Structure 1
Amino acid sequence: MVSDSPTPTERDVVSELTETSEPTPSGGLNLHRHIRLKSDGGHLIVQLPPQSDSDAAGELTWLELWQQLKHRLQASDRSWQPNTRVRVMAGDRLLDSRQLQELDDALSEAQLKLDRIFTRRRQTAVAAATAGYSVEQPLPQDLLQQDDEPTATALAEPLYLQTTLRSGTEIRHPGNVVLVGDVNPGAEVIAEGDILIWGRLRGVAHAGAAGNRQALIMALQMEPTQIRIADSVARAPSDKPSQYYPEVAYVTPQGIRISRTTDFVRPTSTISKSN
């Protein structure tokens, strides 16, 4: 998880670029009107202002925000190196595929590369993943409260995607992930819950990322580069089956096992692949 603001231990490595923001009448920064830029350990952070549910007085349109970003990038001291990777902190702001492309274009003009979208909006996450960007969804603050019972840990709502994840794309979500499409080699899906791939899993899948050893990884065709469930790690057997079936990966006391979904139980045996 990545916080929108640095912790005290991060202050030595996070230096905010000079801003030329107009103050509000009270002398503070109007967060509904300004994009913030930060340099963070080799990355550039672009923090978009929050978006209200209703038309707030003085809230900028998307065109105005986009023009502001282009102006800020052109007017800054350009302390970054060419091809510096950019992380966009979208928060609750709703972005569609066109707006994401416009963000990418503006950053490309400044010799920057859009690397990852952090968002709490499912629609934005779906649009970004479909467009081929890496996505991370922080867990909403109200779900971070720990219950007295360890089994009562709350997960975010499932994330449903209909796309093929290309090499270099990473999806992170604090719940279950359901993907209709393939996960190509070099792509990663990381979830705190289960992962269901309605297609071919040929990249990396990490279920139960927060430590849930009961999490599952399911795919119509299981050919992963690596699979992880909680702290257990495994690779698919090197021998290729003559015919593929929907399969499920799960943790046993001896490690991770892969079985046909029709035969799925939780036996205590070493990792293998059923025929």
Structure 2
Amino acid sequence: MTSEPNAPLNEPKPNSDPSGSELYSQVHLKRAGKKLLLILPQTETKDPVNEWTQLLQDIKYCLNHHKGTWTAGTDLHLLTQNRLLDNRQLRSVTEALESVEIKLTRVCTSRRQTAVVAATAGYSVEQETIKQNLLSQEHINPVSLAEPLYLKTTIRSGVAIRHPGTVIIQGDINPGGEIVADGDILIWGSLRGIAHAGAKGNLECYIMALRMQPTQLRIADSVARAPSTTPEIIEPEVAYMTSQGIRLQSALNFTKIHIFDSQSKGWIEKNQGQPIDKN
């Protein structure tokens, strides 16, 4: 196998969409650094059952054709593009990868339903933007946020969820788990891992959790850690930006009594007009 970055393992047949990214008309396997990318075709036919059967055969053929060009346990990112995958289909792909000793670690998709299926199955998920970054190696800032991503699952250690909008999770974020969102992060459970809201630089975004015990908090480019002492009263809290940095306080009625002030680049209390700092 060639050692060049992003070197293809087979000959691609890409087209271009209006955004300038590559669209593949067949199953494509390529290397990106130390990992592999398995890219599924962009479009689906009007006969999804037979189309999927053929697609799975193409995946197996592509993997077996290049078997032996990677070491056992190599990580692979599955780029599904706009394709909708259910649990059964994702399991079929996983089994095909395991048969050639490749480890599926991340699913990259532009479909929220596929992102939910992958996250629930325990895989790291990158929605929308990863395709642009890996295929074209260009940094693209979305004009607007995507629809919120709602997940009903626990994010385990080693799992990362990345979404170009708000992320809402009914479940816990365990230590070693990570949520990165261009919008807000709302957790109906305990946050014990890493949460990064406003990842594209939006200082107005905030992080809410029923129990705030994070390894690290990030809003835009600011980084903070939770207090080392446990509060006397456990209650839902919100992490938000002020002119002095990230602050924590009770989430009760936060958006009703606060407003974001673009001049000070932080949230302020409506009545006082001053950034709130939790002692």
Normalised to the residue count of structure 2, the TM-score between the two structures is 0.80
**AA aligned opposite 1:228:** R
Rounded to whole Å, the distance in 1 between the matches of 2:109 and 2:202 is 23
Match of 1:50 in 2: 42
The answer (yes or no) to whether the contact 1:254–1:269 under 8 Å persists in 2 is: no
2:275 corresponds, among 263, 268, 271, to 268
Residue pair 1:179, 1:196 contacting (<8 A) in 2 also = yes
Alignment of 1:42-121 (within 5 A): 42-52=34-44, 54-55=46-47, 61-121=51-111
In structure 2, C-alpha distance between the alignment counterparts of 1:89 and 1:20, rounded to whole Å: 14
Task: Give the equivalent residue in structure 1 for 2:193.
Answer: 203
Gap runs ≥5 in structure 2: 14-22, 133-139, 259-267, 269-273
Q: How does 1:126-145 map to 2 (within 5 A)?
A: 126-139=116-129
> Does residue 222 of structure 1 match 2:212?
yes
Give secondary structure in 1 for the equivalent of 2:36.
strand
* AA partner of residue 225 (structure 2): R
Give the counterpart letter for 1:124 in structure 2.
Answer: T
* Matched residue, 1:15: 7
Distance 1:103 1:77, change over 3 A: closer
Q: What amino acid is the match of 1:249?
A: A
> What letter is aligned with 2:44?
S
Question: Which is further off, 64-73 or 245-254?
Answer: 64-73
Q: CA deviation at 1:63?
A: 2.2
TM-score, normalization: structure 1?
A: 0.81
Per the alignment, in what secondary structure is the counterpart of residue 102 of structure 1?
helix
Question: Which amino acid letter does the alignment assign opposite residue 39 of structure 2?
Answer: Q
Name the stretch that deviates more: 74-83 or 211-220. 74-83
Q: Residue 31 of structure 1: CA displacement?
A: 5.1
1:14 aligned counterpart, secondary structure: coil
5+ residue gaps, structure 1, are 1-10, 22-29, 147-152
Q: Which of 238, 241, 248 matches 2:231?
A: 241
Distance 1:195 1:135, change over 3 A: same
Question: Contact (CA 8 Å) 1:253, 1:269: kept in 2 or not?
Answer: no
8 A contact 2:10–2:30 mirrored in 1: no
Tell me which amino acid in the other structure corresponds to 1:82.
A
Aligned partners of 1:61, 1:251: CA distance in 2, in Å? 48
For residues 249-260 of structure 1, what are the structure 2 equivalents within 5 Å?
Answer: 249-260=239-250
Q: What stretches of structure 1 move > 6 A for 4+ residues in a row?
A: none
Count of equivalent residues: 243
Q: Deviations over 1:122-158 (max 9, x none)?
A: 10001111111111112599xx788xxxxxx511111
8 Å CA contact 1:128–1:135 kept in 2: the answer is: yes
For 1:16, what is the secondary structure of its paired residue?
A: coil
How far off its partner does 1:75 sit?
A: 2.0
Q: How is 1:24-43 mapped onto 2 (pairs within 5 angstroms)?
A: 32=25, 34-43=26-35
Counterparts of 1:55 and 1:231, CA distance in 2: 46
State whether structure 2 residue 145 is matched by structure 1 residue 155: yes
CA distance change for structure 1 residues 179 and 145 in 2, over 3 Å: closer, same or farther?
A: closer
Structure 2 residue identity aligned to 1:268? P
Partners of 1:257 and 1:183 lie apart in 2 by 20
Identical pairs, percent: 49
Q: Distance in 1 between matches of 2:225 and 2:141?
A: 34
Is contact 2:29-2:36 (8 Å) kept? yes
- Between the aligned partners of 2:47 and 2:59, the Cα distance in structure 1 is 21
